[in-house]
A and B are shown apart, each in its own frame.
Chain A
Amino acid sequence: MLEVSHVEMRFGQKEVLRGVTLTLHQGVYGLLGPNGSGKTTLMRCIAGVYRPAAGIIRTPERIGYLPQRFGMFKQLTVYEAMAYFAALKQIPARTQRKAIMECLEQVHLADRADDRIGALSGGMVRRVGIAQALLGCPELILADEPTAGLDPEERLRFKNVISNLRGGPTVVLSTHIVEDVESTCDHIILLYSGKVLAESTADDLRAQAAGKVFSVPADKRCQLQQPYHLLREEAGTGTLRVLSDLPQPGDLAAPTVEDGYMLYIRGRM
């Protein structure tokens, strides 16, 4: 279980976290928010990298943390790097090898265990980062933008790894890409400008957007009723996807999580 209460953080004059309060139980949580909303800062506070200016954070003892930027000595092999993290996590030497290989297995790097990190691609290094976060059966896993730099196939694989964890630890993934959280996360936390806007689920977000998303043909653009929020122009069909509380000249579209997310964000942009 993870408890964050009234956490504040500032860099100089800039307030980055403004009273964040959260209680997370078992399950996969998606920390969703646009760039600069304070996701990384919050993750760092939880992981113990930063000490918050105010507030209390209660975490379980064993934490796996994948920072936004992960790197390791290029001279070490994947296995040696993992062994170093295993030692830091105080995994007993007897079970170390097994634990490491299991984690590498999960990120499909078991066959690269003896390769130097310097010889791996950026995506593979990222996967080593994921593997080290998984190491030692942590009760809390924090992954900051875990899918950044992964190709679609690796992204899918990561989602599977997370799905497999379901029912075990508390997992917090931060991302600015709605798609990432849609399928994997049980819960979604919307962070905006250092504040939690909502704690919700994918279905919930979708439900909230129901009846508010319209598909408007491009030639009816001038008939749109204010206020509305243009989500995007679909290039192929030339239709506009519009979010609005008012009826609009077009068909109602099936709502997505992103639409729900935008419902929260739009007024503030």
Chain B
Amino acid sequence: MIRSIRVSNRVFYRGLSLPMSYGLVLAATLASLIRLTQGALSPVDYLTDSLKLGIFGVLYFALAGYELTSMLRKLGGQECLSAFPGAQCGLLFSHILVLLPLLAVWSAVIFGGQVIYFFQQGLDYPPYLLHCLLAVMLYCLLPGLDGLLLGALLERTERPSAYGTVVLAVLLSSSVCDELFAGSSLFGVSPMAVLDWFHLTVPNGNWMADANYGVPMEFCRWCLAAFWCLVLTSVLLWQYRRDGGRAVPIAAAILLAAALLCAARFALRGEDDLLLKDSRPDGILSSEYQYRANHPTGELGVADFSVEEYDLKITAKGALKVSTTVNLSRDDLREYRFTLYHGYEVSSVTDERGAALPFTRDGDFLDISAPDGAKAFTVLYSGKGWKYIANEQAITLPGYFPYYPIPGHLALWADGSAQTVTGLPPARFRVEVTSPRTVFSNLPKTGHNQFEGVAEAVTLYAGLVDETVRGRASYICSPVGREQIESIDLERADRLWQEWCEITGETRTLDLAGKTVFIQPDTISACGKGDSESVVIFDDHILLANMNSTPETICAYYLLEYLPSDAERGLLRDVFKQDLVVGIGNWSGEKPDYDALQILREYPSMDALNEIGDEEQWFAAVEQYTSASERFHALYAWQCSQLGRDTVLREVYQYLKDSTPSQDQVTFLYDLGGAS
């Protein structure tokens, strides 16, 4: 074997085309890495983008594998070897072995890019480097190996068909086919489900990684990569079963059995697989919108009982599995109504004596019947929490999302977006999470991944997540995300709130200092305008969107959260919020003309302009509207200069709070300080 390896080595390195093409691949890889470095990407995006190079690995190593292994046959030397048992097999595997270090070096270059970027960005979170290493192995090294084995397998084929097969394999494992077949269906089967078996490299543009979750590398992905390696090696050995003695077919059979195990694991992946973020119709993001479009929320209602104690035993591997024991405030009810996200399938409900209780599930509602009343229930359920991930790679279970039963029938969806559940009475929680990760929570820690305490809700985070302490505040977030915890000064937020209360007359209190801050990962996409998830405040912790959280945004969000959200006052609300968050600027000119604001009274928002059918008229109206709303801003600034900013803020706030305003927003602002 050593002799064969020496031969393969000489054949490779003394040739011209193979080392040169390898040099080109290396150079191209380096160049792409350097180009990416200049893109000011977040480390996770940098990683995701550089993993796309994996496709070149498949291509190059498949072609190199083919060229090297088929060389002797083309020269007519293969027959000579077949007279020696094991010689052909030995030479073939030495060719593969000689290419392996090249594959390793190429992968190491990609990994090296991550290491350099890591230090360039001044990150201080070594587990991230391990994550990068694993990602490069899964999405570059192993696909490259698969390519190499495929090339070796094609050794007996003529060049045109071998190259054709390689190109087909590359297309299958790239995003090209995804784009072609996205959303289509053949005989009721989505081609995406079949194509997923070939997704060895990072598949497509929709596929995103976030700072908490990192690059999706669920266990089933490793099984898929292993499946292809094993199955190709097994077929390769099988081709030489006569050549290499009895050990060869036995090894082939063992590898095939292992490959089948991996295939079975991948086939049974269900949805424990964030690659479903791709274009599949049942993908993790689009499926919820589809569900909500078809399932209107049922009748809502508050509970006439509360939960005093929760005992949560959570297993986060693939799907979430939970056993919850709830101790109730009342035991004299016949029916207990809860809200539990519809994606969790309840398998049983038992009372404290272990007797099964009948229950019904209607969307997010879980109604438990207790003919003789009950003091405590144990509910077993499992399933997927949509974008609220809980698997072996990461956990993002915010306390406002009912992943455990919450008393009452509550709305989880309204106006096309997810709603948060907050303001519940505090309960005692005992939480035990089974996860290969270290879990962080708002509750005090009592052991490894065990928490206990009294709180309104439990938030659980794990993954590329760490705790950062700054002064009195503790931040749970990804150290590799682009989060700006520097700008989140909770004590300043409290002072700001005090100021604003004095100005506006608001009486609610905000006491953020000392609360644990959870930064929402990108996958929650909690940064949309008016998104209820961008700032969520609990008694002991708060959850903030990843983007631009400052004391001003937090306080403005809290201040505006309870205001009526009618479109008629939307423009004034926006101006008001802008003034609070960044200021509106000065106006030294004349008071804008009331008539110039006329269009704002006809159409209270830009969206309302859509009812104008004629395109030319619509364009004209949009232009007119835009300049009118600029004047409206100016009017606001003018009023500030006349009446003082505090007065304007107070008056506008009272106006916005009024549930039945007597004036439209334009007239109100114009006449502020006395009609003229």
Least Cβ–Cβ distance between A45 and chain B, in angstroms: 11
User: For B14, B71, B79, which residue has the most chain A Cβ atoms within 10 angstroms?
Assistant: B79
B85 with A48: CB separation less than 8 A: yes
Which residue on A lies nearest to B84, using beta carbons? A88
**Given A73-B71, A75-B15, residue A88 in contact with residue B77 (CB < 8 A):** no
B87 with A88: CB separation less than 8 A: yes
Which residue on A lies nearest to B12, using beta carbons? A75
CA of A140 to CA of B7, assembled, Å: 26
Measured between beta carbons, the chain B residues less than 8 angstroms from A84 are 3-4, 7
Q: Does A254 interact with chain B (Cβ within 8 Å)?
A: no
B3 with A71: CB separation less than 8 A: no
Q: Of residues 499 to 527 in B, which have CB atoms within 8 Å of A's CB atoms?
A: none
Q: Does B82 interact with chain A (Cβ within 8 Å)?
A: yes
Q: Does A264 interact with chain B (Cβ within 8 Å)?
A: no
Least Cβ–Cβ distance between B244 and chain A, in angstroms: 13
Q: Does B81 interact with chain A (Cβ within 8 Å)?
A: yes
A75 with B10: CB separation less than 8 A: yes
Q: Does B448 interact with chain A (Cβ within 8 Å)?
A: no
Q: Does B75 interact with chain A (Cβ within 8 Å)?
A: yes
Which residue on B lies nearest to A47, using beta carbons? B83
Q: Does A83 interact with chain B (Cβ within 8 Å)?
A: yes
Provide the A41-76 mask, 1 if CB < 8 A to any CB of B, else 0.
000100111010000000000010111111111111
Q: Does B72 interact with chain A (Cβ within 8 Å)?
A: yes
Measured between beta carbons, the chain A residues less than 8 angstroms from B71 are 73
B15 with A71: CB separation less than 8 A: no
B11 with A48: CB separation less than 8 A: no
Measured between beta carbons, the chain A residues less than 8 angstroms from B492 are none
Q: Does B355 interact with chain A (Cβ within 8 Å)?
A: no
Q: Contact partner of A74 among B3, B75, B85, CB < 8 A?
A: B75
B72 with A71: CB separation less than 8 A: yes
Measured between beta carbons, the chain A residues less than 8 angstroms from B82 are 47-49
Q: Contact partner of A132 among B3, B10, B76, B80, CB < 8 A?
A: B80
CA of A83 to CA of B4, assembled, Å: 10
Which residue on B lies nearest to A84, using beta carbons? B7
Measured between beta carbons, the chain B residues less than 8 angstroms from A68 are 79
Q: Does A80 interact with chain B (Cβ within 8 Å)?
A: yes
CA of A74 to CA of B12, assembled, Å: 11
Q: Of residues 1 to 21 in B, which have CB atoms within 8 Å of A's CB atoms?
A: 3-4, 7, 10-11, 14-15
Least Cβ–Cβ distance between A61 and chain B, in angstroms: 11
Q: Of residues 68 to 102 in B, which have CB atoms within 8 Å of A's CB atoms?
A: 71-72, 75-77, 79-85, 87
Q: Contact partner of B83 among A65, A74, A83, A129, CB < 8 A?
A: A65
B7 with A70: CB separation less than 8 A: no
Q: Does B482 interact with chain A (Cβ within 8 Å)?
A: no
B10 with A87: CB separation less than 8 A: no
A51 with B77: CB separation less than 8 A: no
Q: Does B242 interact with chain A (Cβ within 8 Å)?
A: yes
A76 with B11: CB separation less than 8 A: yes
**Given A74-B75, A75-B14, residue A67 in contact with residue B7 (CB < 8 A):** no
| Chain B, interface SS category | helix
A49 with B77: CB separation less than 8 A: no
CA of A89 to CA of B80, assembled, Å: 12
CA of A60 to CA of B14, assembled, Å: 37
A67 with B75: CB separation less than 8 A: no
A70 with B3: CB separation less than 8 A: no
B84 with A73: CB separation less than 8 A: no
A63 with B83: CB separation less than 8 A: yes
Interface size on A, residues (CB 8 A): 28
Q: Contact partner of B75 among A48, A63, A71, A80, CB < 8 A?
A: A71
B80 with A70: CB separation less than 8 A: yes
Measured between beta carbons, the chain A residues less than 8 angstroms from B79 are 44, 49, 67-70
Least Cβ–Cβ distance between A253 and chain B, in angstroms: 41
Measured between beta carbons, the chain B residues less than 8 angstroms from A83 are 3
Measured between beta carbons, the chain B residues less than 8 angstroms from A89 are 84
**Given A65-B80, A71-B75, A71-B77, residue A76 in contact with residue B85 (CB < 8 A):** no
A87 with B80: CB separation less than 8 A: no
Which residue on A lies nearest to B74, using beta carbons? A71
**Given A48-B83, A63-B83, A89-B84, residue A76 in contact with residue B76 (CB < 8 A):** no
Measured between beta carbons, the chain B residues less than 8 angstroms from A72 are 72, 75, 77, 80
Which residue on A lies nearest to B81, using beta carbons? A88
A76 with B84: CB separation less than 8 A: no
Measured between beta carbons, the chain A residues less than 8 angstroms from B72 are 71-73
Measured between beta carbons, the chain A residues less than 8 angstroms from B15 are 75
A69 with B76: CB separation less than 8 A: yes
Q: Of residues 36 to 85 in B, which have CB atoms within 8 Å of A's CB atoms?
A: 71-72, 75-77, 79-85
Least Cβ–Cβ distance between A97 and chain B, in angstroms: 14
User: For A80, A129, A132, which residue has the most chain B Cβ atoms within 10 angstroms?
Assistant: A80
CA of A65 to CA of B72, assembled, Å: 17
CA of A87 to CA of B77, assembled, Å: 16
CA of A68 to CA of B77, assembled, Å: 10
Q: Contact partner of B11 among A47, A51, A63, A73, CB < 8 A?
A: A73
B76 with A70: CB separation less than 8 A: yes
CA of A188 to CA of B83, assembled, Å: 24
Measured between beta carbons, the chain A residues less than 8 angstroms from B80 are 65-67, 70, 72, 85, 129, 132
Which residue on A lies nearest to B242, using beta carbons? A51
Least Cβ–Cβ distance between A79 and chain B, in angstroms: 12
Which residue on A lies nearest to B73, using beta carbons? A71
A71 with B76: CB separation less than 8 A: yes
Which residue on B lies nearest to A68, using beta carbons? B79
Least Cβ–Cβ distance between A92 and chain B, in angstroms: 13
Which residue on B lies nearest to A48, using beta carbons? B83
Least Cβ–Cβ distance between A194 and chain B, in angstroms: 20
CA of A88 to CA of B84, assembled, Å: 7
Least Cβ–Cβ distance between A47 and chain B, in angstroms: 4
Q: Can you list 22 A-B contacts (CB < 8 A)?
A: A44-B79, A47-B82, A47-B83, A48-B85, A49-B83, A51-B242, A65-B83, A67-B76, A70-B79, A72-B77, A73-B7, A73-B72, A73-B75, A75-B15, A83-B3, A84-B4, A84-B7, A87-B4, A88-B3, A88-B81, A89-B84, A116-B14
- Nearest first, the 5 A-B pairs at minimum CB distance are A71-B75, A71-B76, A87-B3, A75-B14, A69-B76
Q: Which residues of B come within 8 Å of A, CB atoms? A: 3-4, 7, 10-11, 14-15, 71-72, 75-77, 79-85, 87, 242
